């Protein structure tokens, strides 16, 4: 009987092998801050292969940013999100952590980023000096009030110096300049933050004006009969110009680079060349001049004659008086609105009868007289909203006038109004 052949043994079956585990990895990039946002991007991979549909969470301890939205990876493992920086944040460094938890495990990464978000410059602001006409006994700093022109409410007060007296605004550089009458200083305030930047020594500072083209600031110094020229970049006095007696008002024509200084004690106005910083002309025949305004379109100068209750119209080329307009009792200051929809308008405060005379700048006639508060002194206009603001010394208010209807639409109560006022359109 044949012996049966033995079946060959079956080869051992290979046991299935589990894939070697991979460790998830995450990358993170942060773009430079732009328009108050930072773009975040990165990838999630495992063993060099993309992980899709992974949720990526972001964390940061910085209070200067809003919560960062989570992100999902795409088919290539890429993700993106944005950092929304809060308005008004100055340049600073923060840390951002991105993390993800997937079936392969957990991965996280941190990245440093520079954030910055300058607040947009404010608009429609009115700045009023609150110093009394005599220095405080304790020598303390006094404020300027910042008013929202949309609501006619006081936003804040900024300490300036001893007896803030006059004020000027440079909307190009976002700077406010305040003369502190009995502090012998000029304060520079940041429009964006309402913070005091620095203080410049100036002797007996009074009226102040800014040339927004050259970034030069001009201060009429009562008592010492000079004009200080301040460089708006250096924040220091770069020249001193000798003028007439008791310089009480100052105005600038940025188109012609001419500076006009009222010398109340000499009954004249000096004309200064802004490039050479020298007096090259004089306007004569005045009667106790107090206020000054310049029409930059037709180069006319308007000078308030306090003693005879009038406004003189002067040719800016010849320096000759071409017309006289009678106004109210004891006129003080004058301003002009060149953006009026129909024609230029001039506004003159009349201290003696509590009114404002509105002059048609084309016809040189008083159109209407507006009753405001008690003893109006300063006046300023917002050409964009066609609102006129009048500081009333005796009742410490600011009258708000609708420039279209010539009606007082509001009265803002303040402390120790002394006449200084300026508008940021």
Per the DSSP assignment, residues forming a β-bridge with 113 are 94
For β-strands 387-392 and 397-402, DSSP reports them as antiparallel
Q: Top-level CATH class of 125-424? A: mainly beta
The set of residues, in sequence order, having a beta carbon less than 8 Å from that of 318 and lying 6+ positions away, is none
Give the pLDDT band of residue 5 (cuts 50, 70, 90): low
Give the pLDDT band of residue 323 (cuts 50, 70, 90): very high
Q: What is the mean pLDDT of residues 339-363?
A: 91
Q: What is the mean pLDDT of residues 355-369?
A: 97
Q: What share of the chain is helix, strand, coil (3-state, %, to 5)?
A: 0, 55, 45
Q: What is the mean pLDDT of residues 175-193?
A: 96
pLDDT at res. 318: 96
Phi/psi at 307 (5° precision): -70, -25
- In Å, how far from its chain's centre is CA 406? 27
Token digits for 425?
Answer: 């359109």
pLDDT at res. 342: 54
Pick the CATH number of 24-117 from 1.10.760.10, 2.40.50.100, 2.60.40.10, 1.10.3720.10: 2.60.40.10
Among 225, 187, 178, 189, residue whose Cα is nearest residue 204:
225
pLDDT at res. 8: 64
Lowest mean pLDDT among 71-80, 131-140, 241-250, 377-386: 131-140
Give the pLDDT band of residue 1 (cuts 50, 70, 90): low
pLDDT at residue 131 is higher than 80 = no
Query: How many Å apart are CA 90 and CA 422, to the nearest integer?
Result: 27
Query: How many Å apart are CA 7 and CA 285, to the nearest integer?
Result: 137
Lowest mean pLDDT among 106-115, 280-289, 342-351: 342-351
Among 199, 192, 154, 155, residue whose Cα is nearest residue 175:
192
Exposed, middle or buried, 1 (CB in 10 Å: 0-12/13-18/19+)? exposed
pLDDT at res. 262: 99
The set of residues, in sequence order, having a beta carbon less than 8 Å from that of 380 and lying 6+ positions away, is 126, 335, 388, 389, 421, 422, 423
Residue identified by tokens 């506004």 is 347
Share of the chain above pLDDT 90, in %: 84
Residue 308 carries which DSSP code? Answer: G
pLDDT at res. 118: 78
Phi/psi at 218 (5° precision): -120, 130
pLDDT at res. 10: 65
Structural domain boundaries in the chain = 24-117, 125-424
Q: What is the mean pLDDT of residues 29-50?
A: 93
pLDDT at residue 13 is higher than 80 = no
Share of the chain above pLDDT 70, in %: 94
pLDDT at res. 273: 98
Q: What is the mean pLDDT of residues 340-355?
A: 88
pLDDT at res. 34: 84
């Amino acid at each position: 009987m044949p012996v049966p052949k033995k079946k060959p043994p079956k080869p051992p079956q290979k046991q299935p092998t589990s894939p070697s585990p991979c460790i998830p990895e995450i990358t993170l990039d942060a773009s430079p801050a732009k328009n108050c946002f930072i773009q975040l991007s990165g990838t999630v991979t495992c063993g060099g292969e993309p992980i899709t549909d992974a949720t990526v969470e972001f964390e940061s301890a910085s209070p200067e940013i809003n919560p960062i939205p989570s992100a999902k990876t795409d088919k290539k493992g890429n993700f993106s999100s944005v950092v929304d920086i809060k308005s008004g944040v100055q340049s600073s460094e923060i840390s951002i952590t991105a993390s993800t938890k997937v079936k392969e495990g957990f991965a996280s990464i941190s990245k440093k980023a520079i954030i910055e978000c300058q607040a947009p410059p404010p608009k429609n602001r009115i700045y009023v000096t609150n110093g009394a006409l005599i220095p405080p006994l304790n020598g303390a700093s006094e404020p300027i009030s910042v008013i929202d022109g949309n609501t006619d409410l006081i936003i804040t007060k900024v300490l300036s110096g001893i007896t803030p007296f006059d004020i000027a605004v440079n909307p190009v550089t976002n700077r406010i300049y305040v003369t502190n009458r009995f502090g012998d200083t000029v304060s520079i305030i940041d429009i964006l933050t309402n913070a005091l930047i620095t203080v410049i020594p100036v002797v007996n500072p009074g009226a102040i004006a800014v040339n927004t083209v050259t970034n030069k600031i001009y201060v009429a110094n009562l008592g010492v009969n000079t004009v200080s020229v301040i460089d708006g970049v250096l924040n220091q006095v770069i020249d001193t110009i000798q003028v007439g007696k008791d310089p009480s008002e100052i105005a600038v024509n940025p188109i012609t680079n001419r500076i006009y200084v009222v010398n109340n004690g000499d009954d004249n106005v000096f004309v200064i060349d802004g490039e050479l910083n020298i007096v090259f002309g004089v306007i004569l025949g005045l009667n106790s001049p107090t206020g000054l305004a310049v029409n930059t379109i037709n180069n006319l100068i308007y000078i308030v004659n306090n003693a005879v209750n009038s406004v003189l119209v002067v040719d800016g080329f010849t320096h000759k008086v071409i017309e006289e307009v009678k106004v109210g009792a004891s006129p003080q200051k004058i301003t002009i609105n060149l953006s009026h929809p129909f024609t230029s308008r001039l506004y003159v405060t009349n201290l003696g009868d509590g009114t404002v005379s509105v002059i048609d700048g084309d016809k040189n006639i008083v159109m209407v007289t507006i009753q405001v508060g008690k003893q109006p002194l300063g006046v300023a206009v917002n050409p964009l909203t066609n609102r006129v603001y009048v500081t009333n010394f005796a009742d410490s208010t600011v009258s708000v006038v609708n420039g279209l209807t010539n009606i007082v639409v509001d009265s803002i109560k303040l402390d120790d109004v002394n006449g200084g006022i300026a508008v940021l359109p």
